[in-house]
Amino acid sequence: MWWMLVDHEKAITEALAADLGRHEFEALTSDLHGLKADILEHLNHVEEWAADEPVASAGFLMGTLGKARIRKEPLGVVLVIGAWNFPFLLTLQPVIAAITAGCCVIVKPSELSVASQNLMQDLVGRYLDPEAIRLVTGGPQETTKLLELKFNHIFFTGSTKVAKYVAAAAA
């Protein structure tokens, strides 16, 4: 994802300008630099975050002699429903976290930011592993269909009204 952002910085800032009227400087500082910082943070800490944790109070538990560990595993399949107002930042930040955690991801960018959605569809397909990450486009009907599926985790940023619907579907 790092190289996707670096290689297409200009196209991303242009998409944000087309969708939101966002100035290039704002797009660079609030969207792209934030994503790059997140990628570096995750790369620098992934081994630490993924490492087994010893259980200090395990004692003698079924013959373990204090060797009990908490082993971290991926949650499974994650759905990321992006926001219109920060279509790259608020969509790709949770994707970065899910990838770091070893999860497969379905990405649903906001249909309200058309240029960003179209660019993201092209870039995700070229830069990220299609066996682990898929991008779905469309409006409320497609999102409703997605929410009929079972996901292990859902990231959503948006209105309270839609959040209640997403939470009910996730329950």
Domain of residue 93, residue span: 2-170
| pTM for the model | 0.90
Q: Tell me the C-alpha to C-alpha distance, in Å, between residue 168 and each of 24, 75, 91, 137.
A: 38, 20, 21, 22
CATH number of 117's domain: 3.40.605.10
Length of the chain as a residue count = 171
Question: CB-based contacts of 37: which residues, under 8 Å, 6+ apart?
Answer: none
- What does the pLDDT profile of the chain (171 residues) look like in tens digits? 999 999 999 999 999 999 999 999 999 998 999 999 999 999 999 999 999 988 776 555 566 566 778 899 999 999 999 999 999 999 999 999 999 999 999 999 999 999 999 999 999 999 999 999 999 999 999 999 999 999 999 999 999 999 999 999 998
Please say whether the beta carbons of 4 and 127 come within 8 A: yes
Residues 124 and 81: their CA atoms lie apart, in Å, by 15
Residue 13: the pLDDT is: 98
- How many domains does the structure of the chain reveal? 1
Residues 82 and 157: their CA atoms lie apart, in Å, by 6
